Chain A
Amino acid sequence: MADVPNLIPALPEIFLVCAAMALLMLGVFQTGNEGKEGVKTAQLISNLSLTTLVLTLLLVTTIASGPVLTFGGMFINDAFAVFFKVLVLIASALAITISQEYVTRQGIARLEFGVLILLATVGMMMMISANDLMAMYLGLEVQSLSLYVLASFQRDDARSTEAGLKYFVLGALASGLLLYGCSLVYGFAGTTSFDTLAALFGAHPEEAPSVGLVIGIVFILAGLAFKVSAVPFHMWTPDVYEGAPTPVTAFFSVGPKIAALALFLRIMIGPFGDLAAQWQQIVVFVAIASMVLGAFAAINQTNIKRLMAYSSIGHIGYALIGLAVAGQGGDGAVREAGIQGVLIYMAIYLFMNVGTFACILCMRRSDHMVEDIDDLAGLSKSHPMMAVALAIFMFSMAGIPPLAGFFGKFYIFLAAVEAEMYGLAVIGVLSSVVAAFYYLRIVKVMYFDALADSLEKPIGRDMAGVLVGTSLIILLFFAWPTPLLSAAAAATRGLFAG
């Protein structure tokens, strides 16, 4: 008899996947899945999904401890994983909260929505905790498959179907690249375990790795860059963000990106940490290209969802500076500062983005959604509070102190300067100045353009709650930054210790 593996570290994932299946059964066996009753079932399921996510969040924080390996070393639970899991769970919970009103109004309230978000969350948590190439790939697939379906959830709408199909075809290509890279790494190193790979490369640091291995790492990098939508693998982002139902876009722009970035950091720092000389230049290039493209391509956009897509590409570029710094080598403290910057950046990015999308979800006129930036004209007269909230998010994204977005960029650029990567820091600052143009244009449209046609008035209670909560976090972060900073520091130490 073989021993039963230690299930405690994976308890949140197990709970979440069991709860998703239970909710699916509960929803399917509810009487009547059509019309009014169908909407009622969908609301019940999405409320229960929200409860499940909160319970999982509690579980994640209670079982948090030192690094624990389980399932034969394929699954790791450390401070780094806990930090990102908390972010991902918050992202999913906020996405469900802001989606409820929208799905009912658009007539796509179906019970599978909540269940698919739960399953996508399971996939993300598996990615974050992956400690083996195979476990990484399977987590990524659980996540991606759920997301493909969510993108085309509004299946009677041609744009949504197109978004789903595009995402699926390109995502499958990226998975293929990633898998090909994994197979090359396995072929040349003889193992898929992150720990063994790290030990292998750490044992002979002076020896140049074989060419096949480097090609494998480059393929893995390409696959992951696709998942975080970094240039040059960003083509799908604007189309998918524009076509997918807006709450799904909100979810796309935070949850999967955060999870994929966590995986990116873990795989580059963990198993391939000693090969930093091989991948660091690529990360530098990807970071610069993403920042520049995110800054310039967004200028001409009129659709606010496309604008947010380019903005998210730019933000990923800033976050990748942190990884480039960590790959620079040299002083351990500087490398830690880079990773810590990424963690802080992603946490702040989460709240900014969800808040902005909550504002976009409030943009509707006579029962249909409007998505153009010009539709925001005169928002300060018709919805003063919403205009203030959106202005806070826009100023924060542009990185204007004392809002939280400034601190995100500050820690990243500080790390780059400490690592003496001045070029990267200068390009980052310059591109964030360019990006400030289109963020501030939204503020200008809201406050100085004449009111054309007022957006619909009452904002739902959930939405107002999310708006107030996220804008307060962004606004008051500077007053009490210690919890996030210390959590990020602990998580970074966890990553480097492992």
Chain B
Amino acid sequence: MIVQALAFYLFAFVTVTSGVMVISARNPVHSVLFLIAAFFSAAGLFVLLGAEFLAMILIVVYVGAVAVLFMFVVMMLDINFTELRQGFLQYLPIGGLIGLVLLVELLVVVGGWALAPEAAHSGAAPMPPPGILPNTHALGELLYTRYVYLFQAAGVVLLVAMIGAIVLTHRQREGVRRQKISDQLKRRAEDSVEVRDVPTGKGI
């Protein structure tokens, strides 16, 4: 129990600290790296909650794809971040005020939240208790049986998207040199190396 509590505080601390660092770091590359750290520790929090599927998705999708994309954008676009930061203090009061208003609204909404007591059990596919079935297993059992049609249809959507991207952007460029292994292997020393006698003191 104590280990769990310690792990929770560790992950929570790292998440919050990295979150603060994301917006306060001077170097945008460092910001993205802190963002990745925040994602990792948030994934740790999900594991503690017994939602290991969500944890893995967070790492695969957010760290693997989104953060890497951010990194590319930050490194490839020549944005002057110091200029963007100017006037930070000037906008701090109004920004802080809006943040405060949003926080209060969230608190009101979440505070007044009430779930119908029967709602948890009336779902078409109620969640099995985490002790009996790991949630990746439970999701898989639904996804590949009851929802197999939707799963496959989503696959077709992705296939169409991929074909579309290739059709609209791929161009055959002239003069691209590709490695042709069979041509390389066919090449013999006789075809390419020529031995000549070079007279002393003269060029070829």
| Chain A interface (Cβ < 8 Å from any Cβ of B) | 2, 5, 10, 17, 21, 24, 33-34, 71-72, 74-75, 110, 112, 115-116, 119, 122-123, 126, 134-135, 138-139, 141-142, 145-146, 148-149, 152-153, 155, 164, 190-191
Residues on B with C-beta less than 8 A from A139 are 153
17 further interface pairs, Cβ-Cβ under 8 Å (given A72-B146, A135-B153): A5-B149, A10-B149, A21-B159, A24-B163, A71-B148, A72-B147, A110-B167, A112-B163, A116-B160, A119-B156, A122-B156, A135-B149, A142-B160, A145-B157, A145-B161, A145-B164, A190-B122
Q: Provide the main secondary structure of the chain A interface.
A: helix
| Contacting residues of chain B (7-41) with chain A, CB-CB under 8 angstroms | none
Q: How far is the CB of A191 from chain B (nearest CB, A)?
A: 7
The CA of A74 and the CA of B149, in the complex, are separated in Å by 8
The CA of A126 and the CA of B156, in the complex, are separated in Å by 11
**Would you call B57 an interface residue if the criterion is a C-beta within 8 Å of the partner chain's C-beta atoms?**
no
**Residue from B145, B150, B163, B172 in contact with A149 in the complex, judged by beta carbons closer than 8 Å:** B163
The CA of A123 and the CA of B161, in the complex, are separated in Å by 13
Residues on B with C-beta less than 8 A from A142 are 153, 156-157, 160
Q: How many residues of B contact A (CB 8 A)?
A: 23
On whether the beta carbons of A75 and B168 are closer than 8 Å, the reply is no
The CA of A386 and the CA of B144, in the complex, are separated in Å by 54
Residues on B with C-beta less than 8 A from A116 are 160, 163-164, 167
On whether the beta carbons of B172 and A34 are closer than 8 Å, the reply is yes
Q: How far is the CB of A484 from chain B (nearest CB, A)?
A: 31
Closest 10 CB pairs of A and B: A71-B149, A149-B164, A2-B145, A138-B153, A145-B160, A112-B167, A72-B146, A141-B157, A142-B156, A146-B160
Residues on A with C-beta less than 8 A from B164 are 116, 145-146, 148-149
The CA of A115 and the CA of B159, in the complex, are separated in Å by 11
Question: Could you give 29 example pairs across A and B, Cβ below 8 Å?
Answer: A5-B148, A33-B172, A72-B146, A74-B150, A75-B149, A112-B163, A112-B166, A112-B167, A115-B163, A116-B163, A116-B164, A116-B167, A119-B156, A119-B160, A126-B153, A135-B149, A135-B150, A138-B150, A138-B154, A138-B157, A142-B153, A145-B164, A146-B164, A148-B164, A149-B160, A149-B163, A152-B168, A155-B167, A155-B168
The CA of A141 and the CA of B153, in the complex, are separated in Å by 9
Residues on B with C-beta less than 8 A from A75 are 149
Contacts A17-B156, A21-B159, A138-B150; A149 near B122 (Cβ below 8 A): no
On whether the beta carbons of B163 and A153 are closer than 8 Å, the reply is no
Nearest-CB residue, chain A, relative to B164: A149
The CA of A247 and the CA of B114, in the complex, are separated in Å by 55
The CA of A134 and the CA of B159, in the complex, are separated in Å by 18
Residues on A with C-beta less than 8 A from B122 are 190
**Would you call B141 an interface residue if the criterion is a C-beta within 8 Å of the partner chain's C-beta atoms?**
yes
The CA of A297 and the CA of B118, in the complex, are separated in Å by 54
Residues on A with C-beta less than 8 A from B160 are 116, 119, 142, 145-146, 149
**Would you call B2 an interface residue if the criterion is a C-beta within 8 Å of the partner chain's C-beta atoms?**
no
On whether the beta carbons of B153 and A2 are closer than 8 Å, the reply is no
Nearest-CB residue, chain B, relative to A143: B160
The CA of A310 and the CA of B160, in the complex, are separated in Å by 29
| Contacting residues of chain B (134-148) with chain A, CB-CB under 8 angstroms | 141, 144-148
Q: How far is the CB of A308 from chain B (nearest CB, A)?
A: 25
**Would you call B124 an interface residue if the criterion is a C-beta within 8 Å of the partner chain's C-beta atoms?**
yes
On whether the beta carbons of A149 and B149 are closer than 8 Å, the reply is no
Residues on A with C-beta less than 8 A from B159 are 21, 119
Interface string of B146-188 (1 = CB under 8 A from A): 1111100110110111011011100010000000000000000
The CA of A139 and the CA of B154, in the complex, are separated in Å by 9
Residues on B with C-beta less than 8 A from A153 are 167
The CA of A142 and the CA of B152, in the complex, are separated in Å by 11
Residues on A with C-beta less than 8 A from B154 are 138
On whether the beta carbons of B172 and A191 are closer than 8 Å, the reply is no
Nearest-CB residue, chain A, relative to B145: A2
The CA of A15 and the CA of B177, in the complex, are separated in Å by 39
Residues on B with C-beta less than 8 A from A34 are 172
The CA of A148 and the CA of B107, in the complex, are separated in Å by 43
